Structure 1
Amino acid sequence: MKKMSIGCFLFVLSIFLLSGVNAQEQNDSTKVSSVSASSKEEKNRNVMLNAESANSPRDVNIGLPFQGDIVILENDVPVVYYFYPTFPTSAWRVDNSLSRIGLLSFEEGALLYGKVGFAVSSYDRDFSRKFKGFASSSINSMGSSSFDVTLTGPLKNGWGYMASFYQFNDRANGANYQYSSWSSRTSMAKLSIQKKYKKGSVKLLYKYVDDNKPAVSSYNPLLYMGDGETKALDNFSLGKDSYLPGSGIIPTVDRYQNTVMADLNSDEFSRTESHNIYLVGDHEFDNGWKLNYSGIYQKMNSPLSIVFPLSLSILNVAEQNANGRHFYKLGTTNEYTGKYVQSMYSQMSPQSDCEMYTVRAEMTKKIKNHDLRFGTTVQMFHRAYDVLTGSWRMTVEANPTIVTTTAGSDDPMYNPYAYGSYADDKWEKQALYASDDFKVGSRLDLSIGARLEHQDFTTYSDPYKNFEGLEDKELLKYKAKNKWNKVAYGKFVYKLTNHFGLLGDVCYNVDNKTTWDYPYRDENGASIDENGYTAGFHITSTGLVVGHPRATKPKDYEISVLKSSGGVYLNIGKKLNLVSKLTYIEKNNILGSATLDDPTSMMGVRADFGPEFYNIQTMGWSTDIMSEPFKNFSIHYLLTLQKPEYKDYSVSGFGQTYDYSDNIIPSLSQVLMEIDPSYTFGKGKYKAWVSLRYFGKQYANETNAFTYNPWWENFGGFDYYVSRNLTFKLQVVNFLDQAGVKGKIEGAAQIQKEDIGDYIGKPIVASAIRPRTIELKVNYKF
């Protein structure tokens, strides 16, 4: 850990005051006043305090790796149906138009939408009885800035309005993208009109979002020194420099082998535009039943550009030169004389055509000691998109340059069998759900709920790769009709005394999926592998090659998730609020990657031996404490000990079997801590706070050969409440100024522990920790 001198601090402070910040909101709703089986939201979570991004919710670790399960809700409906290619943050941002943000419990997210994990919930403002304005502006030391303003007020006869505008210019971690001044730029506007009447209200809201995000890449080259230690390269600053080509031009091919040089700075590959219409309302009937309803229709053209290492291997230029291979900057005869070259893979979706609607309606009523709830959701999501892919090499440095092995060549592809693809998918879902929160006597609180969802899925896919003239060939069609997704949960709290008791829960979730394993085919309809070969032996100019095509068909399958926990709570008002429990989670029948490299091939031959299914199992113990030991001071502490493991997971190919069963899942720590103290003083005008999150040792690949040492995510801030209408918030992300990496290492699935010595002192690629960032935000009400 580096120490920061006063002079250094003043210098950085002056820079940040002259440049820019997107300050993250500190979620202050961390107090737990009581323990209840009917709790619908998670407390003690700084939802928006994200160490990886200034504009996304944090990923709350529950012992399962992220697989697109987490959802963000706005006005009780998801902001997007699915994260590919429609990223949630391309249709949703935190600004003054939102009246509140929360985090739904695991069970509530499953009941409402069948999701696994914690769902972020947010709600747009209702109109106010008199004109009001809410404005915010922020800057940070990396050059990011934001501004937003929201206006609300009445019209006549129970009518009112809300209008807002939001602008965010993001420099991310200060990376110098040579092809763009920004890592993303987002504009969002909302306009709503609302009618309140005696029995309820109805609101119509339009939201427009224009989000420019050039590419998705969090990879950084570095040296792996063994035993969890890493070291930065001399020519690359971890977490700050860009590991995307400085030109912003990414080599790809479409599904018929036409070369497309994708420009990350063009609208086609970076700009998402969405139109969203919400209808939200509530109505109370004379018999005591209350109806809440919400619906969204969304039209979105959304590109998605992903660039990642093709394999673990980073080539040493000197060694390659000694073997007669030289590298030249694309389109020139200038030989590259640097130290390393990296093999890369691009997966680019140009602006896609996506359409979605979701409707949710819910009836509630309290009957004696029962809080009853009956609801329904109807969802449709249609996406039609191309995927362009490419295999190419680039220099290992900040803002790399694309290279080839032929002097003067304009062809960047080193693997001629890169594939594009096309898909046209449609999901249709209709669900019913119900829950009951009730008491049994004076000591037992119970909550039960269930969801039953009907699902139809249809997809069209083009398997004909690399063959021009087949554009009119009939697409493969697959239907998975009349599938049923199921959720059930139960929760209890038993009060042994007025302050102490037992609690527990169980949740079971079944979701239908479809494998994406259409075989590639040649012009005759025969299956070919990722290298373009049919099954069997092939004599080529470089030697004998064996084809390994996938011969499987698309099929549907079920993923099941079981979560159960039990423990104790102690609640002594503000002085101490404690929950301690054991939790067990298992997720079964997960579709995994089975792409392997041939260890005997000098040509870089790889083949896909999927589909491969595996399970995950996590046993953990967590203790969550909230306390106000003395006036104006509060502290939150969370300790989690867990063991997230692969189960029944092995991959076979090229005569070898790789067994990952009982290994720890990469990028998930077994020890987690969260410490959040805060102190308010000066008659409530000032608040100082710190948020610390400890991540224990992590494994970086499936065999657990690579490891990372523990680290802290750390935040600190100072809030100054000048008046009821004016607030200044100063925040420092990573004030300990840690530098390092985390996350899964691409292409390392086949590296065994006994071979790790071959990689010590050698370059690898992983995700970096966000560098220190100072942020200032001003909130003003008028």
Structure 2
Amino acid sequence: MKQYIDKNFKRRRLSLLFAGLSLCASSSLFAQEEENQNLKVQDSVALQQELKGDNEVDGKKNGSDRNVMLNASSNSGPRDVNIGLPGSVGGITILENDLPVVYLFWPELPNKTWRQSVSLQRTGLLKMDELASTMGDLGFAVNSYTQTGTEKFQVKGKLTGSHFGWFQGDLNVSGPISDNGWSYTAGAFVNFDPSTYDLGYNNYADQTKIFRAGITKRFKDGKGEFNISYKYADSYTTTNYAVIEYGPDGEANEIDDFRIGRDSYIIRDGRVRFKNIDGGDDYWASMDGTENTNTSHNIDIFGNYLMDNGWNFKYSTRLHLAKASLLNIIPLSILNANAEDGYTIASTGEAYTGSVGTQLGMNSPEIPTTSIMGRFSIHKKIENHDVSLGVLEQYYDIDNYISNRSLFYQTIENQPQRLISPGTDEYGFYGYNGGAEFHTGIENKLAVYASDDWQVSDRFKLNYGIFFRHHHIDGEYSLQQRGVDFTIQDAEKTPINKNWFNIAGKINASYNLTKKFGVLANFQYTEENGRLERYSAALDPNTTTSKSPLGAAGIFYNGDWVSLVSQVTYLTKNNYLKRFNLVNPQDNTQQEQTTTYYDIETLGWTTDVVLTPFKGFSFHGLVTLQDPKYKDFTFNAFGNTYDFSDKTVLEISKVLIELDPSYTYKDWKVWASFRYFSEQYANINNALTFAPRWENFGGVNYKFNDHLNFGLTLVNFLNQVGAKGTINGAELIEDPEPYYGRLLTSSYIRPFTAQLSVGFNF
């Protein structure tokens, strides 16, 4: 299921830690954690956002949104913030109008219904403690607010493109309907992104369309407003991988027939054959068709009303209807074929010898989901207290989630060709529905929460909150083993009926020892149990409460031209679930699936500084030292017992550095962002690594006048070439030497890309 998803969502691992969380996250492609969909948003925001912010949730300020959308892996979503825990496929939690844009990242990924857009009134980074105290979840979040109707006619838009042929158009129009407070808004977002490689079967790797319309009613005397907003989204995306020659010291070298980031490792016709476990029919799925497209309808009703007693009542409700189709092709391993092995090219029948890639195909066709959500809260400033009380309701229905599976072979080249061998059927496929998935049912989360910002004195500030949640799931799954003849109609089904009570909370304190210098301390706690998607496989999952205490302490200094925060953080989380699709290190033609549970413990130290030594110049710097470890991590596979306890978490750099200089002169701004990652582990055994690397961005912005501006952004302008993430199929490798000179597959950062944008506002 989720463990095989698109790495662009699974591991967009960039720099920074925030609020003292100098802790990186990671996750193997075949060892997908199913718990925290909200562990990652990358942001070069300084730790000072603990003391000052520019975004809100429930009327409260939270963190800055600096560089949130600078993503070295793709154009489709925010950066990832790493907090020392394995990341989930969903990446960052994304909120709109204080509610999640999707209830659960699987099978509907957030970027299939949400993109950064001029049809959003504002966007920012939600701090971890705010997410804990208002959602009961662990991690960071992007919080955004829909553009509402305006009292005056307004047109704003943005056109963006790249030298690879990317085009993105974004437009919003708003204005008054009548003189009694009614107004309207309408927007359109279209994205046609070929990425940096030619697919062969389609012109675009990301084709997304989002349309919005809304009506606003503003009450007299500033009492509040009422909004109703409709959104339609249609999106498909494709994920690419790189073939590399692995070398000593984590080298990832290009091979003659494959350029990293410029060539496609996706089968050239984009078609995969499956047997549907919902009915047993054989069918072909296409990467550029409906089998890989998500559509959704979204209705939001939101607003606020200032009551006579001074309390501000805020409300946000949502009906979200979606049909999610996913088609993913995941590399497993690379083997060598000789003439006697009998491989032939499927399209021509020509004999083939050489390197052969083993691929896993997964398809979830048109899975219907329904979400109904509501947040209702009241807020009031009472002397030196800023009090909030709220209720959060989330209902979710998924109707017969399935994931069909098949395996096939392909050539190693740009736009590979499918192969037929004695072990496949006439089309080149085998292993139909080994590990196929199924579940169906509903989830309901009802929570109440309260928080208070207390200015105890001129020097001492205390922020605390508590969150209580009842979580109910009701559905069906099957313990029957999955194979070629498995169908959900014939399978014996097991009912699911679970109820859990969870608690979360926060307490943050800061104390000024002098006017500019002080100390701070933070503690937060979250817990959760299982969700329906944990029941997808043919096993009874462990739903023991997963607890996540987080503590931090540090110092801060706010001077005339320097602001600094230095903080140490400790974090643990237990009962992570991993589902592996493992490759036997002794025989790479053998695959095996297994499930295990484990814990994480992580300690980090972050120092974050912002310098403004002279007019127009700003410099943000961040240094992070971290060492997250696996705990109680054991499982059996291929007749052996493996223990990965005390191994460093995958894809973790123990040293992270971020440098962000910028200079503004009149209507011009020149900026850059450099992110350093020290050596990263590329398999869970810590035997394979990727060498240290820099990711870099730069640009120039020019404001022509109040209505027109231009921007040039350069991605990877130092033209770094290399792989990152994990090495597919290499989880159990213990000795790296036999792999020197071998061909492997992995993710990568984008090659040099020049992007030009034009923004307008009238």
TM-score (norm 2): 0.89
Superposition pairs for residues 286-685 of structure 1, below 5 Å? Answer: 286-310=308-332, 313-317=333-337, 320-321=338-339, 324-330=340-346, 332-337=348-353, 339-384=354-399, 385-406=401-422, 410-415=426-431, 418-462=434-478, 463=480, 465-466=482-483, 472-473=489-490, 475-514=492-531, 552-573=539-560, 575-593=561-579, 596=582, 604-610=589-595, 612-681=596-665, 684-685=666-667
In 2, are the aligned partners of 1:331 and 1:410 still within 8 Å (CA)? no
**Secondary structure in 1 matching 2:627:** strand
**Secondary structure in 1 matching 2:426:** coil
Q: Call closer, same or farther: CA 1:670–1:27 in 2, change over 3 Å.
A: closer
Q: Give how far 1:645 is off.
A: 1.1
Q: Call closer, same or farther: CA 1:775–1:58 in 2, change over 3 Å.
A: same
In 2, are the aligned partners of 1:390 and 1:419 still within 8 Å (CA)? no
1:13 maps to: none
In the alignment, residue 677 of structure 1 is paired with which amino acid? P
Output the aligned Cα RMSD. 2.5
Q: Give how far 1:504 is off.
A: 1.1
Q: Call closer, same or farther: CA 1:409–1:281 in 2, change over 3 Å.
A: closer
1:207 maps to: 231
Distance in 2 separating the partners of 1:28 and 1:517: 33
1:780 maps to: 760
1:766 maps to: 746
In 2, are the aligned partners of 1:495 and 1:502 still within 8 Å (CA)? yes
In 1, are the aligned partners of 2:285 and 2:327 still within 8 Å (CA)? no
**Secondary structure in 2 matching 1:246:** coil
Q: Call closer, same or farther: CA 1:31–1:631 in 2, change over 3 Å.
A: farther
In 2, are the aligned partners of 1:257 and 1:466 still within 8 Å (CA)? no
Are 1:702 and 2:684 an aligned pair?
Answer: yes
Alignment deviations for residues 446-491 of structure 1 (CA, whole Å, 9 cap, x no partner): 0111111101112323436447596643652332422112111110
In the alignment, residue 722 of structure 1 is paired with which amino acid? F
Superposition pairs for residues 23-62 of structure 1, below 5 Å? Answer: 35=51, 40-43=61-64, 45-62=66-83
Distance in 2 separating the partners of 1:36 and 1:599: 51
Alignment deviations for residues 220-273 of structure 1 (CA, whole Å, 9 cap, x no partner): 111101211111111111112111100111132222664322111221x12211
Q: Call closer, same or farther: CA 1:399–1:594 in 2, change over 3 Å.
A: closer
In 1, are the aligned partners of 2:324 and 2:367 still within 8 Å (CA)? yes
Q: Call closer, same or farther: CA 1:603–1:245 in 2, change over 3 Å.
A: closer
1:10 maps to: none
Distance in 2 separating the partners of 1:297 and 1:435: 27
Superposition pairs for residues 115-154 of structure 1, below 5 Å? Answer: 115-154=137-176
Match for residue 78 of structure 1 among 81, 85, 100 = 100
Distance in 1 separating the partners of 2:502 and 2:92: 17
Distance in 2 separating the partners of 1:767 and 1:394: 18
Distance in 2 separating the partners of 1:205 and 1:644: 43
2:215 maps to: 193
Alignment deviations for residues 324-375 of structure 1 (CA, whole Å, 9 cap, x no partner): 21210126431124x3101111111112111111100111111111111101
Q: Give how far 1:167 is off.
A: 1.2
In 1, are the aligned partners of 2:119 and 2:146 still within 8 Å (CA)? yes
2:114 maps to: 92
Q: Give how far 1:607 is off.
A: 4.0
In 2, are the aligned partners of 1:686 and 1:720 still within 8 Å (CA)? yes
Q: Call closer, same or farther: CA 1:706–1:484 in 2, change over 3 Å.
A: same
Distance in 1 separating the partners of 2:118 and 2:130: 26
In the alignment, residue 172 of structure 1 is paired with which amino acid? S
Q: Give how far 1:149 is off.
A: 1.3
TM-score (norm 1): 0.87
2:6 maps to: none
Q: Give how far 1:644 is off.
A: 1.3
Q: Call closer, same or farther: CA 1:46–1:457 in 2, change over 3 Å.
A: same
**Secondary structure in 2 matching 1:112:** helix
Are 1:161 and 2:184 an aligned pair?
Answer: yes
**Secondary structure in 2 matching 1:111:** helix
User: Where does the alignment leave 5 or more consecutive residues of structure 2 unmatched?
Assistant: 1-41
Match for residue 226 of structure 1 among 248, 251, 274 = 248
Q: Call closer, same or farther: CA 1:291–1:706 in 2, change over 3 Å.
A: same
Alignment deviations for residues 550-575 of structure 1 (CA, whole Å, 9 cap, x no partner): 7x5345222211211100000014x1
Distance in 2 separating the partners of 1:241 and 1:423: 37
Q: Call closer, same or farther: CA 1:161–1:701 in 2, change over 3 Å.
A: same
Are 1:691 and 2:673 an aligned pair?
Answer: yes
In 2, are the aligned partners of 1:514 and 1:555 still within 8 Å (CA)? no
Alignment deviations for residues 66-111 of structure 1 (CA, whole Å, 9 cap, x no partner): 1246310111111111111101011111111112110010111122
Distance in 2 separating the partners of 1:654 and 1:185: 41
**Secondary structure in 2 matching 1:93:** coil
In the alignment, residue 454 of structure 2 is paired with which amino acid? F
**Secondary structure in 2 matching 1:694:** strand
Distance in 2 separating the partners of 1:493 and 1:621: 18
Match for residue 733 of structure 1 among 683, 694, 715 = 715
Q: What fraction of aligned residue pairs are identical, expressed as a percent?
A: 35
**Secondary structure in 2 matching 1:513:** coil
In 2, are the aligned partners of 1:587 and 1:615 still within 8 Å (CA)? yes
Q: Call closer, same or farther: CA 1:446–1:603 in 2, change over 3 Å.
A: closer
In the alignment, residue 208 of structure 1 is paired with which amino acid? Y
Distance in 2 separating the partners of 1:285 and 1:32: 34
Q: Call closer, same or farther: CA 1:33–1:105 in 2, change over 3 Å.
A: closer
Distance in 1 separating the partners of 2:319 and 2:581: 38
Structure number with greater Rg is 1
Q: Which has the higher contact order (CA 8 A, sep 6+)?
A: 2
Q: Give how far 1:64 is off.
A: 1.8
User: Where does the alignment leave 5 or more consecutive residues of structure 1 unmatched?
Assistant: 1-25, 521-549
**Secondary structure in 2 matching 1:427:** strand
Greater shift in the superposed pair: 254-263 or 235-244: 254-263
Distance in 1 separating the partners of 2:306 and 2:580: 54
1:4 maps to: none
2:695 maps to: 713
Distance in 1 separating the partners of 2:541 and 2:565: 45
Q: Give how far 1:515 is off.
A: 8.2
**Secondary structure in 2 matching 1:473:** coil
Q: Call closer, same or farther: CA 1:107–1:231 in 2, change over 3 Å.
A: same
2:33 maps to: none
Distance in 1 separating the partners of 2:535 and 2:208: 36
Q: Give how far 1:293 is off.
A: 0.8
Q: Call closer, same or farther: CA 1:83–1:31 in 2, change over 3 Å.
A: closer
Distance in 2 separating the partners of 1:727 and 1:621: 39
Instruction: Tell me the matched-pair count.
Output: 709
Q: Call closer, same or farther: CA 1:36–1:147 in 2, change over 3 Å.
A: closer
In 2, are the aligned partners of 1:235 and 1:398 still within 8 Å (CA)? yes
